[in-house]
Structures are given as structure tokens and as C-alpha cells.
Amino acid sequence: MKNIFKISLLALTALLFANCNRSNSNKSTLTGLNFNDPKNGNFIRNNSFDGQKTPPGMIGVEGGSFTMGQVQDDVMFDWNTTPKKIHVRSFYMDEAEVSNSEYLLYAEYTKDLYNPSEENYRYIYNSVLPDTLVWRKSLGNTDILSENYFRHPAYGDYPVVGVSWLQANEYCKWRTNVVNLKTLIDKGHIKNIFEIDSVKIPFDTEAFLANSDKVFKGDSTIYKRGVGRAVRKRGEPRPGRDEFQGARKISRSDGILVQSFRLPTEAEWEFAAKANIENREYNNIRGRKKYAWDGKYSRDKSKRNRGDQLANFKQGPGQYSGLSGWSSDGADIPNKIKSYPPNAFGLYDMSGNVAEWVADVYRPIIDSEANDFNYFRGNIFTKKMIDEEGNVVIAANDQAAEVDYDTLPNGNIVAKQLPGTIKYIPITKDDTTLRRNFMVADNTDIGDGDANSSRFFEDDEDKVVPSMYNSPKAPTKEIDPETGEEILVNDAAKRTTLISNNTRVYKGGSWSDREYWLDPAQRRYLPEYMATNYIGFRCVSDKLGPMGTGKKSARNPSR
């Protein structure tokens, strides 16, 4: 009986504390006003945020300090990776590269949403498809891969390749919108639009937050439920089943929608690949890591798999997998994702299989005076475009509205802005008045391309003009004097480099690279519109709140 009395007393005490905490959480400690109380203005505060959930398919990477650009070997002697100590914030990263089946879902979704048989949408679907011809070789029998690698189920779990940096970015945006759309449907905030009209209704997260009435083609009945209690005056009828329920519509401050998916920055990717967490001893890092795993060698040391390669890479001329019957890495082309052991963060294939796009604009060295907090080169600061009536402008929101297209240097046609998405414009000088942290919209050339660091080249008219990098220019549209048709004319001038503000970094070795490139600090570059058979990508998402969730723990393997 005594034990029962004690248990009951503890339960009652816990219940009282819970009620006190609940009442206190609904009250402003600084003003005394109650939140979510119609008698106190019904100001809403969302108290249900219990911490950010790990996005599907991702792993949490706790940030910290590390030396970026610290390589084991530099046989090129170009000093392309200047070591610099920086701090990286915590984030979430895909366990593995985006696979063919996942990217095919994106392509088919886009095809259903923007039917290519409609004149206005005819280029959108083709613009997201991978370039399957990257598998062709002038002196190789590889057409079987061009025909099958992307779509055949035998390669469904293989990393997608043939995707440019631009296409990878668009996939990240689409993924953000689809995850948020499903979240809103699952929580009952909007109707299941897949059941209403397949996926023919475009959804954009930012447009939904800015003006939800314009998102669902003007159908206000799709938005079912907002947040908070709606206050009805005496005698007012209850809203009908198809009418909007709640005090107000969802905003970013409610914490319901996920953070955007994007490509990792170079610093984030390198930090995640190195996974120095396993080399940490208290607050120090022991030694350097040459690979994503610990150790000096690329072969497995465990008894069960001793001698097997820990990554998929080219081991020598003609040595893509090893001898018949004894394949040392198990693949002659990209292998299935998660085929090799993960690194200390739980991330797969951070060395080998396919190289991966990162967000940064390429420059030959990491800036000696770069920002040491979450370094990234490529920021272009923008703001939402507002029309004369003060409303946010949404691109081609009406199905009859014409979609604006652009032609890339390789001749591919892409939509400048997908229908249903918010239009953005660069910030102006008025927006940066008296600011100290940034001054211009395009920060790609900050400290690299100004008057003090520019080089001089001669243009087609033999005029000397300043240009940091003499890279190819985009094709121009001209009228053919014989046929009168509009044609594309490529830049035929002699160019000395591919480096420009549209050249992006890719990291990590691949199935076709030698061991040298497996070092996470190594870096290479390619124009953002180009694709290869050895570059894929994975997404990241920002972590909100505290850096980590666990307590500090000492790690001293030598004791």
C-alpha cells in the first residue's frame, strides 16, 4: 500500500508540473499576455515544435571546425587546395547519392505536371532528363549503357549520372516542394491534390507561404485547415466542410514545413566526407585522413573482407574492377548505392563510385581571406518581385501564360522560371544602404575579378578589355541571311580556360578516376551546364536549433 501511495503521489506531482509548464508556455513571460487566447487578441504561438525531424533518406552531420583543403598528395603542384581552418554548421545530408529510380520519379512527375505535348511546356520535360549519351565512346562499345543505364530496373539503385549542376539544383527545389506538399496533405492542411487531378496542380513552397490563393489555380477550397482557434462571433454560422478552418493560414513561424533541400557547399561536403569525428581525441584531431574512412590504405582490413577495396575507383590502365572471378571492388561502372561501408557519419560513397556536384563557383584556390564561418562562394542575394498592386509575382501562373526559356551554351533549352514559382530580382543599392555585411547582389567575384586582380584579354574586335577569365560565352541568336530563320551561333573565339562565374566545383573520386582523387580535399571543376558519366549528386538540408543532440563525450582510443 505504501508503494501504491508513493507512485500515486509521484504521478500527481508530475501531472501538476506538466499543467504548470503547459500554462506557462501559453503565456508571454515578458508582457503577461496569453497566447492562443481570444480574450487577449488570439495571438498565436506554436508550442508543438519538439525538435527538427531528420528528413527522409538523410543523416544528421554535427558541424564543427576542420582544416579545409588539407590534402595528402599534391602531384599536380598547382596548390589548388589552400589549407584553411573554418567552421561548418550542422546539417542533414543524404546517406547516398540520388539514384536513377529517385531521379526518374522526378522526371515522370515533371512530365505529368508540364505535359510536353502542350506548346507552352514542350521544353520543360526534356530539360530535366539526364544526358544518356555521356556513356558513348568514340572507340568503345558502350551504347548498351546509353540505352539502359538510366531507365532499366537493373540500374534502378545505381547513382544517376549525366546530370548537370543546373539539373541537380532543379531536383533539389522539386524535392523541397514535394516533401512540403506531402507534409501538408498528411497533416490535413490541404486536400490530396493527387486524387483531385493527378499532379496537374503546381505547388511551390515559397509561393504557398507568400500567397496561397494563387498556388492552386485559384481553387480556395483545396486549403482546408490553418492553425490556431478561429474566433466566431455570437450568431455566426460554423464554416462548412469545404471552407477554410482555423484562425489563420500557415506561416514559416509555425515550423510545419521542412527546410529547403539544396546542393552541399564545398566546405560541407568535404567536412562530411572526412568525418574527422573518428579521429577526434577530446578537442583535437589526430593525424590526417586520406580517404573518407580511417587509415592509409584503400583495402579492407577486417578478417571477413580482408583485401577488398573500400571504394569503387580505377586501379590502373584497364583496371576498373580486377580479374574475372576476383573482382576487387565489385564494379566496372558505378555500383549500387550503399555497396561499400559508410564513413564515421554514416554516409556512403563519399570516396569513389561517382564524383558529386557541390554548390560553389570554382576558383583555383580557396580564398586566403575567405569567411571562416560556413564558407561558400557563389552568393547572389535576391528579393521577391512585387507588382504595382503590392503582390508577389508568380511566373506563368496562368496555364495560358507564356513560359520564358533560355538557351544554354551547349544548345539545351531550359525554362528561366518554372510556372507557379515566385520571381526573384537582385537586390539594389538602396537595399544595402549603410550595411556592413554585404554591399552587392552578385558576390561571385568578391575579391576575385575586381580591378586589382583582373587580367587583360583581347576581344574579337582587338580591343583590350578586362576579364578575369577568358571563358566561352553563351551562344547568340541570329537571323540566317539565306533562310531567314533564327539560328544559334556559338562562340568561336579562341578561349584559354573554362573557368568563369558559371563553373562549378565537383568533389570526390569516381569509378573512372585513379586513387589520387579519392581524397575528400581534392577538387575539380566543370561548367554548370555540362554533364558526364562519372558525376552525380546528393542533397543537404539545414539543421535548425542546437548544433547537436547528444552530450559531450571524450574519445581517446589510445587508452
Per-residue pLDDT of the chain (559 residues; tens, 9 = 90+): 556 666 666 666 655 555 544 444 578 888 888 877 767 776 766 655 667 889 999 999 999 999 998 888 777 776 678 888 999 999 999 999 999 999 999 999 999 999 999 988 999 999 999 999 999 999 999 999 999 999 999 999 999 999 999 999 999 999 999 999 999 999 988 888 888 765 577 899 999 998 887 888 777 788 888 877 676 667 677 776 667 777 788 888 888 899 999 999 999 999 999 998 888 877 777 777 889 998 888 888 887 878 788 899 998 999 998 888 877 888 999 999 999 999 999 999 999 999 999 999 998 876 666 789 999 999 999 999 998 888 888 887 766 678 999 888 888 999 998 988 999 999 999 998 888 888 889 888 887 755 545 555 555 555 555 566 777 777 888 888 888 888 888 888 887 788 888 999 999 999 999 999 999 999 999 999 999 999 999 999 999 988 875 666 655 555 4
DSSP string, 15-58: HHHHHHHHHHHTB-TTT-PBTT-GGGTT---------PPPPTTE
Across 476-511, b (16+ Cβ under 10 Å) vs e yields eeeeeeeeeeeeeeeeeeeeeeebbbbbbbbbbbbb
Identify whether the C-beta of residue 422 lies closer than 8 Å to the C-beta of residue 177.
Answer: no
**Alpha-carbon gap, residue 545 to 503, rounded angstroms:** 33
Q: Give the predicted TM-score (pTM) of the model.
A: 0.88
pLDDT at 452: 47
pLDDT at 22: 44
> Residue by residue, what is the 3-state secondary structure of 308-340?
CECCCCCCECCECCEECCEECCCCCCCCCCCCC
| C-alpha cell read off for 309 | 577495396
DSSP string, 184-218: HHHTTSB--HHHHHTB-S---HHHHHH-GGGTTTT
Identify whether the C-beta of residue 218 lies closer than 8 Å to the C-beta of residue 255.
Answer: no
Q: Is 387 helix (H, G, I), strand (E, B) or coil?
A: coil
**Alpha-carbon gap, residue 274 to 280, rounded angstroms:** 12
Q: Is 269 exposed, middle or buried (0-12, 13-18, 19+ CB in 10 A)?
A: buried
DSSP string, 148-171: HTTTSGGGTTSBP-S--HHHHHHH
In the chain, the largest separation of any two C-alpha atoms, in whole Å, equals 104
Q: Is 311 exposed, middle or buried (0-12, 13-18, 19+ CB in 10 A)?
A: buried
pLDDT in tens, 368-385: 667 899 999 999 999 999
pLDDT at 360: 95
Other residues' Cβ atoms within 10 Å of the Cβ of residue 80: 19
